[in-house]
Structure 1
Amino acid sequence: MSEEKESVLAGFKAFLMRGNVIDLAVAVVIGAAFTNIVNAIVKGIINPVVGAFGTQDLDKYSSCLQAPCTPNAAGEVEGIPIMWGTVLSATLTFLITAAVVYFLMVLPMSKYLARRARLQATKDDMQEVIEVSELEVLKEIRDALVAQRGAGHNAP
């Protein structure tokens, strides 16, 4: 039982120490912090720009599916409101987040990886050229030795 417990703990430790688990944890923490920045941009910049054409708070944009969509004396909304402004705000937040992630992380990383692949391919091509030229040099040495040996056997 003790060995099984140790192997489970050892397996769990190995799982946690894998690079991709730690990378994922860092990504989640950075993503959470980044969400606050994106929300601030949407609420501080995007919403006022959109608000220039209406209200500054996108959450106030709504339609009424079943009238009346007004709050009663208790503060409860009567009717069925469709809060499409909230959906619009969330969509803008998503698009900004996706654009920032793509342009600041994915695109530079893909360019870096493509450049690295080209350099590796160039290195591989150079290695083949070196190997081919080494083979040719060895063949020439062999032919020279065979020629020398042949000349030496014919001498008196």
Structure 2
Amino acid sequence: MLKGFKEFLSQGNVIDLAVAVVIGTAFTALVTAVVTKIINPLISAVFNANSLDKALTVDIPTVSGGHSTLYFGAVVGAVVNFVIIAAVVYFAFVLPLQALMKRRAAAAMPAEGAPIGPSDIELLTQIRDLLAVRTDFSGSRHRAD
């Protein structure tokens, strides 16, 4: 039972997932700092509020005679946070990775006019043919001279 657990932990998927969670947590802290320290003050200056959570509030009366407050600024803040996260992920990770993959694919392709090597099927066919020559129909092998 412990051997199976040890194998499970040593699989690459578990390690990759753990790294992704740690990096995601650190990345969340970075984006949160950008939003709360840079974006929120800029938007709050436009709406004359200290925080997006307190901006764009609407008080509505309730049936019991009290009131309830709708916080549209909090929703705007969540949308801004999402857009910033998406933009950072796209521009900092996706675009550079795509460019790297294109460069690697271009480097792996043979130059124009260069001969392309045999395909996997052709190589396997050649191996089969060589083995067929070395083995007669009785199953005995011929000695290579």
Tell me whether the two structures share a fold, i.e. TM-score over 0.5: yes
Q: Name stretches of at least 5 consecutive residues in structure 2 with no aligned partner.
A: 119-145
The reply on whether 1:15 has 2:8 as its aligned counterpart is: yes
Q: 1:115 to 1:81 in 2, by over 3 A?
A: same
**Residues 82-93 of structure 1: pairs in structure 2 closer than 5 A:** 82-93=70-81
> Cα deviations across residues 55-91 of structure 1 (Å, max 9, x unaligned)?
1311102222435xxxxxxxxxx42221111111121
**Per the alignment, do residues 20 and 46 of structure 1 end up closer, same or farther by CA in structure 2, a change over 3 Å counting?**
same
Structure 2 CA distance, aligned partners of 1:25 and 1:80? 42
| Uncovered stretches (5+) of structure 1, i.e. residues with no partner | 68-77, 132-156
Matched residue, 1:60:
54
Letter in 2 for 1:81: T
14 and 117 in structure 1: CA distance in 2 versus 1, 3 angstrom threshold? farther
- Structure with larger Rg: 1
- What does residue 87 of structure 2 align with? 99
**Aligned mate of 2:43, from 50, 56, 68:** 50
Q: Which has the higher contact order (CA 8 A, sep 6+)?
A: 1
Superposition deviation, residue 49 in structure 1: 0.8
Other-structure match for 1:32: 25
CA contact under 8 A between 1:60 and 1:83: conserved in structure 2? yes
CA RMSD in angstroms, aligned pairs only: 2.6
**Counterpart pick for 2:108 among 108, 120, 126:** 120
Contact 1:63 1:83 in 2 (8 A): yes
Q: CA deviation at 1:92?
A: 1.1
Of 99, 102, 126, the residue aligned with 1:111 is 99
Q: Percent identity?
A: 45
Give the whole-Å Cα distance in 1 for the aligned partners of 2:114 and 2:8: 39
**Could you tell me how far 1:96 is from its partner in structure 2?**
0.9
Residue 34 of structure 1 deviates from its aligned partner by: 1.6
Distance 1:14 1:126 in 2: 45
Higher helix proportion: 1
Q: How many angstroms apart in 2 are the aligned matches of 1:15 and 1:66? A: 57
**Distance between the aligned counterparts of 2:104 and 2:60, measured in 1?**
56
Q: How many residues are aligned here? A: 114
